Every structure is written in structure tokens, then in C-alpha cells.
């Protein structure tokens, strides 16, 4: 069975997490953020160590373990009733992050909408990331060199995901607006496309 899915897509600092939590709080939407799941791993596990290693450098964790983790979490959420694959729409945040991940996930996903939180103002995103580093104790956001690397990785490796899904599924949202205006635009797009 394929999960009916909305992708929240955008550069680090574009507000995916904030918006994902809001959309995920609406009945019949289930928010899944790959970064949050990685951060909950402990360094005693092999994948926890792998995550600290790659994210500390601003790089993506390798695809196979990332997809496995995502699958296992969604299956567990479905088993214990937090996610109802028949009635819920899955809101994926932070995954797929390159075209290979999109290919690996394709047997499991029925992607209906790709919401691209676009932000032309790089300085704004860097500022958001630095503020978040202080508030949420996120080491990968504290170092300007790591932030730069993360933005480069987004441009080079993640942006091609937009081409993978094509223009028909894509809806651009201006991420430089206030969070409430971004939410309004997202809800409107979801209502128009999914009803």
C-alpha cells in the first residue's frame, strides 16, 4: 500500500519543521521529520554515530540506512495507531533529500503535492539557523562553515528532487513571509490540491 503524501521541501532554515508541525496537528495529517528521528537516536547505536558524524559536517547521512529508518518509523506508527495510512495524509519533512532517496521511497509513496518553501534571501536563512542553534542546542547550526556546507548540499544534492517530481506536483511558497502567512499559503494549497 502506498501512503498518500505531501512533501515539505526547502533549504535548511526555510521553516519546514515549523510548518510541518502545524500541518501535522490538523486531524488526518501525520508529520514525519527525518531530522527529528535522527536526533532522537543515541550515540550508542551505529546509526546514531553515523548521524553525528555526517550531520556534524553538514552532510547527508547515506541513503540506505536513512530510508530504512524512515520506513521502520512509519510502519511502527501505523502499527501503534499514531498514523492511519488509510485516512491520513503523510507530511514528509526532510526526506527525500536527493533523487536516489525519492526513487527508493517511490514504491511506498503516492506523492500528491510538493510544497517548496523557497527563500531567495540566503542571509535570512543563515540568521534563522543561527538563532535556532542557540534555542534548540543544535550544534550543526552553530558553526558558520557547517551552515554553508548544508546550504551547498541543498543546492547540489537536494534541489534535483524538484525535477524528479516535476512541475505538476510542485507548489512554490514564499518562505520569507511571516510564519502565519506561510501557514495560510500552505493550507490553501493543500485544500486546493487535496480537497
Which positions lie near ligand ADP, rule CB under 6 A?
12, 16-17, 34-35, 38, 54-55, 59-61, 66, 94-95, 97, 101, 140, 150
| Dihedral-angle region of residue 13 (phi above 0 means left; psi in -120 to 50 means alpha; beta otherwise) | left
15 three-state secondary structure: coil
Which lies closer to ligand ADP via its Cβ, residue 12 or residue 190?
A: 12
Whose grid coordinates read 501535522?
24
Residue least distant from ligand ADP (Cβ): 35
Which lies closer to ligand ADP via its Cβ, residue 84 or residue 174?
A: 174
Which lies closer to ligand ADP via its Cβ, residue 105 or residue 190?
A: 105
| In the complex, minimum distance from the CB of residue 192 to ligand ADP, in angstroms, rounded to a whole number | 25
Nearest to 31 by CA among 41, 17, 11: 17
Task: With beta carbons less than 8 A apart as the criterion, state whether 38 and 55 touch.
Answer: yes
35: its cell numbers: 531530522
Which lies closer to ligand ADP via its Cβ, residue 148 or residue 192?
A: 148
Nearest to 124 by CA among 17, 8, 12, 4: 12
| In the complex, minimum distance from the CB of residue 94 to ligand ADP, in angstroms, rounded to a whole number | 3
Ramachandran angles phi, psi of 25, nearest 5°: -85, -10
Amino acid at each position: 500500500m502506498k501512503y498518500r503524501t505531501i512533501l515539505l521541501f526547502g533549504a535548511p532554515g526555510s521553516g519546514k519543521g515549523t510548518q510541518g508541525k502545524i500541518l501535522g496537528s490538523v486531524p488526518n495529517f501525520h508529520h514525519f521529520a527525518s531530522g527529528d528521528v535522527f536526533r532522537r537516536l543515541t550515540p550508542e547505536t551505529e546509526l546514531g554515530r553515523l548521524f553525528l558524524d555526517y550531520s556534524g559536517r553538514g552532510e547527508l547521512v547515506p541513503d540506505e540506512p536513512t530510508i530504512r529508518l524512515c520506513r521502520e518509523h512509519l510502519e511502527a506508527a501505523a502499527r501503534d495507531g499514531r498514523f492511519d495510512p488509510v485516512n491520513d495524509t503523510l507530511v514528509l519533512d526532510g526526506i527525500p533529500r536527493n533523487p536516489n532517496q525519492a526513487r527508493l521511497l517511490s514504491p511506498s509513496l503516492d506523492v500528491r503535492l510538493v510544497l517548496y518553501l523557497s527563500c531567495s534571501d540566503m542571509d535570512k536563512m543563515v540568521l534563522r539557523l543561527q538563532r535556532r542553534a542557540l534555542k534548540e542546542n543544535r550544534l550543526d547550526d552553530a558553526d558558520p562553515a557547517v551552515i554553508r556546507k548544508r546550504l551547498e548540499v541543498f543546492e547540489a544534492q537536494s534541489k534535483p528532487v524538484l525535477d524528479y517530481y516535476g512541475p505538476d506536483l510542485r507548489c512554490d511558497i514564499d518562505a520569507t513571509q511571516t510564519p502565519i502567512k506561510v501557514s495560510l499559503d500552505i493550507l490553501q494549497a493543500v485544500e486546493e490540491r487535496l480537497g
